[in-house]
Amino acid sequence: MLERLSQISSHTRASAIPVAAHPLDPLSAAEIKAATAIVKAAYPDKVLAFNVVSLADPRKAEFLAWQADSEKAAKPAREVDIVALEAGVSGVWEGLVDLTVGKVNSWKLIAGVQPILTSEDLIKVELVIRKDPKVIEQCVISGVPADEMHKVYCDPWTIGYDERFGTERRLQQAIMFYRSDEDDSQYSHPLDFCPIFDTETGEIIAIDIPAVRRPLSKHKHANFHSKAVAELGGYRDSVKPIVVTQPEGVSFKMTGREIEWQNFKFHIGFNYREGIVLNNISYNDHGNVRPLFYRMSLAEMVVPYGNPDHPHHRKHAFDLGEYGGGYMTNSLALGCDCKGVIHYLDAVFPDRAGEPITIKNAICIHEEDDGVLFKHSDFRDSYATTILTRGVKLVVSQIFTAANYEYMVYWIFHMDGTIQLEIKLTGILNTYIMNDDEDARGFGTRVYPGVNAHNHQHLFSLRINPMIDGLENSVQMVDAVRDPNPVGSKENYYGNAFFPKATVFKTAGEAVTDYDGTTSRTWDMINPNKKHPYSGKPVSYKLVSREAAPLLPKEGSLVWKRAAFARHTIHVTPYVDRQFYPAGVYVPQTSGEPSMGLPEWIGDGSANVENTDVVLWHTFGITHFPAPEDFPIMPAEPMTLLLRPRNFFLQNPALDVPPSYVMTTSGARNAGASTVESLTDKVSRLAFSETAGSVCKCGNNCSGACGSSCECK
């Protein structure tokens, strides 16, 4: 069957079902068309609105078998997850389509759940509220003339959970704003009431009106566009351009969506929910291709707000589970989001009708200078004996917009084998109106007259399925501890003894742990079956993550119940195919009773997670107490974590990176000439000297330069 289809598709681009280049590739436009066509054909009399049409990841065993021997082993079935709504039917249709055989493998109605909100769902709300008489009435009460409804805007938000409305209807809450001019930013002019919108019927079913009314702010709009900057005195002219070029092109190679860079090899997936998915990461260790991670992604996140007043408790968006980090992703552009020499990957999603939509340049792949990778100089000859090697890093990134906020996600690969996840928060604070005589009571900050920016957290769930030198892995918690023996004792006479205390998790229950700054706690993903030949310790990748703010909503609170994954820094579960979402598959309007996802899977905690195929779930993030500096648009706030090889490589894996400068002791004593062709870039120069000499002598070959005295005269 597979053969037949591939032949067809090679002959013709007709309605035949296309065959994907790689089992982990996201669905192509043709595949989305094909999948929805198959569903429509199977259920001709249903009026379906497609919500999700996305690759169902190949089953791991099938994929690995195929990868191990693609001649003998069958290519994994190309399956498609379908989530669709039927007009007038509560709940969602959940289907699994097999593209390879062109049929619907399963099709069931899941009652009492709500699907993710798509861009189409979000965009509707504003159009409706502008026409709704009750909303208009409230606008007028707030001080917006009825003929200015075109200046009324709303950010459509998931409702979280509201006990009054439950889960039956598919709801959004409209966070209301006023924009005096279409080019202004509405966030300095919130309105004080909150309409509730039925996404399917398109009606406003309720309006939440606060006890204390707050009329529209009379203060001037705060904006960040050219007009506003002009009023500040215009743009500064003191910024000189920094130009990054790669005359010989990039150091990475793409084969479809598989990338090879500096011994790393992995596949770059992307889906509506997690956005970037890194699959099948391996490292070529001098010819030995060693698996590191089978799959890594941001699986969920929650943004709880800290103002207790109704209805602000509903502001705790699960940006991935309720909107989708893929659905909200930006199209990126050269020289803007990334600089240098770039390779982009597009994303394709279905619209409500099941037709494919392409987001161009959804993923940016590029390299950046990574500073000094390593350096050492010998004091014996006044630092003439020197090695200095600069690094380059590979960055795979996306940016998604969650109404007001932007999340910039950077997966960074370093030459020393470290994999770094950096997330930068920018965009605009979610704001609420406050009267001039009002006090934010510590639950928010007045960032501008009339504007209350509420305290909030950004908590992410990083899902890692390690494959450190094989499928059987364990996770150990490592604490830096003082030796128990007292000062003056034989074992610890001077009291300086300390060591790393490693605790290997045996069960999922034991693995539920939190960050401890007092022991600089880290967690290692280890292969207990493979010891390092020198250290005797198991090969591992260490998770170093310091931005591990605890969930601040209280135990028993709505957020605590719904975002169970965020209660702890670390969870470890046995690997299960297609078990991806730690707050559940259908997150919108869950009550948290029972808590979905991780608590369900962990159950009584008895499941073995030692020396088996495991998944590590890491909650990290920050608590944000807004300040006026974050307004009207927020400078990027960074957070980062590292996955570092420890006891994995025989030695520093970057030793063979060509140095910028290397001088041996004998070299320094004799010639004084560099002993390898220096890789120093040819263009670095002095800021306040134009003499060619200085550029040439130091810029070109850096002779006697690094570490020893640079003779730029």
Q: Which residues are the active-site residues?
A: 319, 405
Amino acid at 680: T
How many other CB atoms are found less than 10 A from the CB of residue 458?
22
> Should residue 559 be labelled a site residue for its own copies when binding is judged by CB under 8 A?
yes
Q: Are 79 and 56 in contact (CB under 8 A)?
A: yes
Q: Which positions from 406 to 425 touch its own copies by CB under 8 A, shown as an x/- string?
A: x-x-----xxxxx-----x-
How far apart CA 481 and CA 677 sit, in angstroms, is: 46
Question: Is residue 250 a contact residue for its own copies (CB under 8 A)?
Answer: yes
**Dihedral in degrees, nearest 10, Cα atoms 125, 126, 127, 133:** 90
At 568, is the secondary structure helix, strand, or coil?
coil
Q: For its own copies, which residue of 87, 166, 168, 183 counts as binding (CB under 8 A)? A: 183
- What are 446's strand-pairing partners? 452
Query: Which of the stretches 5-13, 106-114, 189-197, 638-646 binds its own copies when contact is defined by CB under 8 A?
Result: 638-646
Q: Please, which residue, 248 or 604, has the CB nearer to its own copies?
A: 248
List, as own/partner pairs, every contact residues 343-350 make where C-beta atoms lie below 8 angstroms and the sequence separation is at least 24, other chains included. Answer: 343/250, 343/252, 343/254, 345/257, 345/268, 345/270, 347/26, 347/270, 348/26, 348/27, 348/28, 348/29, 348/32, 349/32, 349/53, 349/272, 350/32, 350/36, 350/50, 350/52, 350/53
Nearer residue to its own copies within complex by CB, 146 or 372: 372
Task: Assess 712 for contact with its own copies (CB under 8 A).
Answer: yes
Which residue's CB is nearer to its own copies, number 10 or number 358? 358
Among candidate residues 221, 163, 154, the one with its CA nearest the CA of residue 193: 154
Identity of the residue, 4 or 379, whose beta carbon is nearer to its own copies in the bound complex:
379
Query: Counting every residue, how long is the chain?
Result: 713
Tell me how far, at minimum, the Cβ of 325 lies from its own copies, in Å. 14
Q: Counting beta carbons within 10 angstroms of the beta carbon of residue 233, is it exposed (0 to 12), middle (13 to 18) or buried (19 or more)?
A: exposed
CB of 328 to its own copies, least distance (A): 7
Beta-strand runs (E) in 506-611: 522-531, 538-544, 570-574
Tokens of 578: 């297609």
CB nearer its own copies, residue 76 or residue 588: 588
139 close to 132: Cβ distance less than 8 angstroms: no
Q: Least distance to its own copies from the beta carbon of 637, Å?
A: 9
422, 409, 426: which is closest to 362 by C-alpha?
409
Taking CB under 8 A as the criterion, the residue among 201, 683, 692, 693 binding its own copies is: 683
Using the structure block, give the residue that is written with the tokens 């067809």. 8
Q: Does 254 bind its own copies (CB under 8 A)?
A: yes
Q: Is 277 in the site for its own copies (CB under 8 A)?
A: no
* From candidates 30, 176, 392, 616, binder to its own copies by CB under 8 A: 392
Q: Is 67 in the site for its own copies (CB under 8 A)?
A: no
Stretch that binds its own copies, among 2-10, 170-178, 611-619, 655-663 (CB under 8 A): 655-663
Going by C-alpha positions, the residue among 525, 572, 467 that lies closest to residue 64 is 467
Residue 551 is given by DSSP the state: P
Options 67, 180, 426, 507; binder of its own copies; rule CB under 8 A? 426
Rule CB under 8 A: say whether 10 interacts with its own copies.
no
List 368's β-bridge partners, or say none.
393
Q: Given the complex with its own copies, which of 68 and 336 has the nearer CB atom?
A: 336
Query: Which residue from 112, 166, 603, 658 is in contact with its own copies, where contact means CB under 8 A?
Result: 658
Which listed residue (66, 165, 224, 601) binds its own copies by CB under 8 A?
A: 224
In the range 591-630, which residues lie near its own copies by CB under 8 A? 622-623, 625, 627-630
Q: Does 325 bind its own copies (CB under 8 A)?
A: no
Q: Minimum CB separation from its own copies for residue 441, in Å?
A: 8
Smallest gap from Cβ 152 to its own copies, in A, equals 13
Judging by beta carbons within 10 Å of its beta carbon (0-12, 13-18, 19+), is residue 692 exposed, middle or buried?
Answer: exposed
Q: 337, 469, 610, 613: which one contacts its own copies (CB under 8 A)?
A: 337
Say whether the peptide bond before residue 658 is cis (omega within 30 degrees of 0): no
Residue whose C-alpha is closest to residue 282's, from 58, 67, 61: 67
Q: Does 570 bind its own copies (CB under 8 A)?
A: no
Using left for φ > 0, alpha for ψ between -120 and 50, and beta otherwise, residue 234 falls in: left
- 431 or 579: whose CB is closer to its own copies? 431
Tell which one of 4, 44, 72, 534 touches its own copies (CB under 8 A): 534
- The 439-478 site mask, x for binding its own copies (CB under 8 A), equals --xxx-xxxxx-----x----------------------x
Stretch that binds its own copies, among 91-99, 141-149, 488-496, 609-617 (CB under 8 A): 488-496
Nearer to its own copies, 62 or 516 (CB): 516
Report the residue number, 92 or 328, with the smaller CB distance to its own copies. 328
Choosing from 665, 671, 673, 691, the residue that interacts with its own copies (CB under 8 A) is 665
DSSP letters, 424-453, are EEEE---EEE--TT---TTSEEEEETTEEE
Does 504 bind its own copies (CB under 8 A)? Our answer is no
**264 is an interface residue for its own copies by CB under 8 A:** no
Q: 137 vs 439, which CB is nearer to its own copies?
A: 439
Question: With binding defined as CB under 8 A, does residue 40 bind its own copies?
Answer: no
Measure the CA–CA gap between 120 and 200, rounded to whole angstroms.
11
Among 558, 566, 570, 585, binds its own copies (CB under 8 A): 558
Site for its own copies (CB under 8 A): how many residues?
Answer: 209
Which of 26, 76, 306, 466 binds its own copies (CB under 8 A)? It is: 306
Residue 709 binds its own copies (CB under 8 A): yes
Burial class of residue 170 in the structure, from the number of CB atoms within 10 Å of its CB (0-12 exposed, 13-18 middle, 19+ buried): buried
Max Cα-Cα span within the chain: 89
Shortest distance in whole angstroms from residue 33 CB to its own copies: 20
**Token code pair at residue 111:** 């009652």
Minimum separation from the CB atom of position 635 to its own copies (A): 4
Q: Tell me the HSE value of 80 on the side-chain side, using a 13 A CA sphere.
A: 36
Minimum distance from residue 295 beta carbon to its own copies (Å): 24
CB closer to its own copies out of 23 and 621 = 621
- Kindly state whether residue 375 participates in binding its own copies, applying the rule CB under 8 A: yes
Q: How far apart are CA 13 and CA 41, in angstroms?
A: 20
CA–CA separation, 457 and 455 (whole Å): 7
Nearer to its own copies by Cβ, of 112 and 442: the residue is 442
The answer to whether 530 contacts its own copies (rule: CB under 8 A) is: no
Question: In the complex, what is the shortest distance from the CB of residue 575 to its own copies, in angstroms, rounded to a whole number?
Answer: 26
Question: What CA–CA distance (Å, rounded) separates 92 from 115?
Answer: 7
